[in-house]
Structure 1
Amino acid sequence: MQDLAHFFISIAQLLSQPVIILVLFCSTFMGIIFGAMPGLTATLGVALLTTLTYSFNESIALVSLLAMYVGAVYGGSYTAILLNIPGTAASAATAMDGYPMAQRDGAGRVLGLTTTASAIGTIIGMLFVVLLSPLITKMALQFTSFEYFLLALFGIIISGTLTSSDLVIKGWIAGLIGLWMSTIGRDQLLMYPRFTFGNPNLDSGLEVVAVLIGAFGIPQIITALRARVKLAKPVRIKRVLPEFGTMLRNLPTIIRSSLIGVGIGAVPGIGEDIAGWVSYGTAKKFSKTPDEFGTGLPEAVISTETSNNACIGGAMIPLLTLGIPGSPPAMMLLGALMLHNITPGPMLLIENPNFIIEVAAILLLASVSMWICGITLARYVTRILEVPQTLFMPVIGLLCVIGSYALGLKIFNLFLMLPIGLLSYFLIQMKYPIAPLVIGVILGPMADTSLRRALMVSQGSIAPIFERPVSLALFSIIVLLILSQIPWFKSLFGRVQREISSKFHHSH
């Protein structure tokens, strides 16, 4: 009851400040534009806004960043529905049925469904943040250094496993590159310089936000300028009407998709695009008319948009409780929180007991703001799609440069951002995922200091890993993840599975 009271007090405090309301709607609108323009992503939008919020107070910074995040994940559905070109990876699954439905029933009807589904998904994700975060924090407070090391290693391994479009080992290699990059600078235990080559600028390590802007921003700009995508004129929208009756009829789909979104969002480094596709596949599996998927079914559109927005709340849970971002935009949020001297993790609820409730209140307001903007401004936002993409990209490049320099007013951040951006671009061209690399940079310090501290306490013994249930479980999962990619283990597991299945059928 106390948390509920504080939740409503937080909402009232935010709404009582006209500046907050203005920032909320402006950031949501910017997020929708970033999501709607192919080549501009939620991750890039949050990254650029992070650098602009450097001088803001904590409340305004949080409102602007979370509203940008929510708006951008939703905004990708515009081009998916109107042009059959997903604005963001998160809206790729929406295009499957959104575009055919827009051609048949009109874009206004589809956007009404996606806007309402996105708002509901965000709100359900927010509820899970409030319900699960205290439980996970209590569990995390029991962790020792070995658990923290294994948790960081698990985050890197699972991110590499699930984000690789090619060989899984490429995801692991990207994660290990990020892990190595995190060791640059003076180590946090003995302050001994590592890989600094005598350069004092590297003593404090790599600036996380500069790495994030380089890794996600530069490749996006280069790819967009090389592709020179010419967008067709989007369909004109007469009116966007929310269909609450259709939403009620699809309530089981909404609940199922929300749970999928929250679950996938909580897995480190995965993101909203995976949530959308998994939800789409699950909706098709449970549908009474699976053959009609791809022809413009409302339940398909509702499933993907509910899931990818519920993923936002899911990504907040490990970010706030463990300091591990659940999605690429959440990585940017981690960097932003650090800029404002907020350290996510198990101690957050002790140092700032009401912080998670405040984040939940902002997410609720952001979902309402997104719904209002989506319903009232859809006709005008879509006209931005007619602006050539090549005009946007040089401006985005300039913002990346200004943003990196603005962090501490260090010219060295530019020398850091550009090579990391070029490295990331070439890695993407070779089908190496970037999310594990960034997760490695973020989780590297935790993995490094936790392992070394644990070995100091245990006098070099790794026996405590096998003596504590949580560390043993994490170690077993990591080993199974690695073994699952080895051919002989795959064939052995498949053979055992077939034998168990055949015995089960014979017994029945």
Structure 2
Amino acid sequence: MDILSTFGSMFWHIFTSPLLILILVGSTFLGIIFGAMPGLTATLGVALLTTLTYGLDNQTALLALLSIYVGGVYGGMYTSILLNIPGTAASAATAMDGYPMAQQGQAGRAFGLATTSSLIGSAIGMVFVALLSPVIAKAALQFTSYEYFLLALFGILISGSLTSPELAIKGWIAGLFGIWLSTIGQDHMQMYPRFTMGIHELDNGIDVVPVLIGAFGIPQIMSVLESKMKMKSMNAKSIGKLLPDFKTMFKNTRNIIASALTGVGIGAVPGIGEDIAAWVAYGISRKTSKKPETFGKGAPEGVISTSTANQACVGGAMIPLLSLGIPGSPPAVMLLGALMLHNVAPGPMLLKTNPSFIPEVTAILFAAAIAMWVCGMILSKQVIHILRIPQTLFMPLIAVLCVIGSFALGMRVFNLYLMGIIGIISYFFMKLKVPIAPLVIGVILGPMADTSLRTGLKTTGGSLMPMIERPISLILVCVIVMIICSQIPAVNRGIRTLFSTVKNRLATS
């Protein structure tokens, strides 16, 4: 009952305050613009808005950040449907059937389906945040130092594996590099400076926000200016009537539920993101459809499944963020950095230090989803005019915001150097197809991994045996070993041979 009352009071507080309504709608609309413009992502939007919320109270800052997150994930579907140019990676799957629908003169119907599906996906994701986050957080209270170390290591390894499927070691290298960056400065136990190279500005460690802005902002700016992408022109009048097709939505009830559950589940896995959730949901929808041959040719089921999974993934990404302090997607990484900037420490202790925080987050998510639906239904045709602006004109403005955002934290010029160095490194990582998300997750989870491992070793007198003596830590050790072994070709061949032998024996018997 306390959860419902907190949720209700927060929801009422948002929609009875003109200032909060303005922040809600403005941040959501800004997120839609960031999502709609290729090269401007929800991650970058949260990164730039983070420093602007520094002087706000926690609730107002969280409202702005979650609104731009939700709007950014949704906004990518505009260019996907109209131009077949995904505004974000998360909206690439929507283009598979959204663009054919637009070519058939059903762009307005596709928008209505995508917008309404996004609202439903957000609502379902919000329910899971409210139900699962407290349960996982209570279970995590039983963790010892070794469990926290293994959990951080698991988050980095699984993020590296899934964001770099062709060669997982690239993702692992990025994650380990991020951990190394997090160790620069005085360690948290003995206050001894490490890897500072005599630079006094590094004694207090590396600030997270310049790293986040550099890692996600600079590569986007450089890649867009390098490619000089040009938007195709599109007549806004060709959108047609923009109305939600509730009849089609009702027929796709099973599809919506399955896609939402897929989005929540994939979002809860550290570091994966909405793009994978959308593609997996699209594949499931196609396999279970009665007319799979229509997919790719303008099937409404394809638009519904991807839009639902995208927004449900936002809620899924919040579950490990709030309960364990581990972000579930790249925008959630930025959100974690923003919470740390506001002295909010997500994790198992959040229920004790701030028991009303999780219900407040669910209320904000639901309010952001409503604002997204309203902005999406009202402003769609106006957004199309913005898409005609050459993308390269936005980049200098984004660069200025990156500089202001990095400098605003502590008013340190050194943060600008740090942002530039990390940005250049991340740009070359992107060129080498090394994922950036594991690097940032490594920077954020590095202190927890470092301190937890050293505390565990100090407590046990240097023994690692407790890692395999406690059930939870043993499970994590087994999962980590499986992740590593799954990337060894000899092990994969051995497993395939074993399964093939067993299958043949069963067949002959």
The TM-score by the shorter chain falls in which range?
Answer: over 0.9
Q: Which amino acid is 1:222 matched to? A: M
1:37 counterpart = 2:17: no
Per-residue deviation, 1:500: 3.7
In 1, the alpha carbon distance for the partners of 2:384 and 2:276 equals: 25
Q: Please list the CA deviations of residues 34-62 of structure 1 after superposition, one character each: whole Å capped at 9, or x if unmatched.
A: 00000100000000000110111112111
Report the equivalent of 1:149.
149
Q: Which amino acid is 2:252 matched to? A: N
In 1, the alpha carbon distance for the partners of 2:158 and 2:501 equals: 28
Confirm or deny: 8 A CA contact 2:122 2:311 kept in the other structure: yes
Report the equivalent of 1:402.
404
Confirm or deny: 8 A CA contact 2:122 2:315 kept in the other structure: yes
1:351 pairs with 350, 353, 363, which one?
353
Q: Which amino acid is 2:19 matched to? A: V
2:324 pairs with 305, 322, 325, which one?
322
**Partner SS for 2:463:** coil
In 2, the alpha carbon distance for the partners of 1:209 and 1:505 equals: 58
Confirm or deny: 8 A CA contact 1:166 1:431 kept in the other structure: no
Q: Which amino acid is 2:175 matched to? A: G
**Partner SS for 1:93:** coil
In 1, the alpha carbon distance for the partners of 2:298 and 2:206 equals: 47
1:466 pairs with 468, 490, 494, which one?
468
Confirm or deny: 8 A CA contact 2:105 2:240 kept in the other structure: no
Q: Please list the CA deviations of residues 463-488 of structure 1 after superposition, one character each: whole Å capped at 9, or x if unmatched.
A: 00110000000000000110011111
In 1, the alpha carbon distance for the partners of 2:504 and 2:140 equals: 41
2:434 pairs with 432, 435, 442, which one?
432
Report the equivalent of 2:259.
257
Confirm or deny: 8 A CA contact 1:52 1:403 kept in the other structure: yes
**Partner SS for 2:142:** coil
In 2, the alpha carbon distance for the partners of 1:137 and 1:409 equals: 36
**Partner SS for 2:314:** helix
In 2, the alpha carbon distance for the partners of 1:5 and 1:189 equals: 41
Output the aligned Cα RMSD. Answer: 1.1
Confirm or deny: 8 A CA contact 1:30 1:68 kept in the other structure: yes
Matches within 5 A, 1:296-307: 296-307=298-309
In 2, the alpha carbon distance for the partners of 1:414 and 1:165 equals: 33
Greater Cα offset, 139-148 or 163-172: 163-172
Per-residue deviation, 1:505: 5.2
Q: Which amino acid is 1:138 matched to? A: K
**Partner SS for 1:357:** helix
Per-residue deviation, 1:203: 1.2
- Give unpaired runs (5+ residues) of structure 1: none
Report the equivalent of 2:218.
218
Greater Cα offset, 93-102 or 497-506: 497-506
Report the equivalent of 1:377.
379
In 2, the alpha carbon distance for the partners of 1:235 and 1:477 equals: 52
In 1, the alpha carbon distance for the partners of 2:104 and 2:499 equals: 45
Q: Which amino acid is 1:218 matched to? A: I
In 2, the alpha carbon distance for the partners of 1:309 and 1:461 equals: 44
- Give unpaired runs (5+ residues) of structure 2: none
In 1, the alpha carbon distance for the partners of 2:261 and 2:235 equals: 33
Please, what TM-score do these two structures have when normalized by structure 2? 0.98
**Partner SS for 2:92:** helix
Matches within 5 A, 1:421-460: 421-460=423-462
Confirm or deny: 8 A CA contact 1:181 1:206 kept in the other structure: yes
Per-residue deviation, 1:165: 5.0
In 2, the alpha carbon distance for the partners of 1:244 and 1:235 equals: 26
Q: Which amino acid is 2:304 matched to? A: I
1:244 counterpart = 2:259: no
Matches within 5 A, 1:280-291: 280-291=282-293
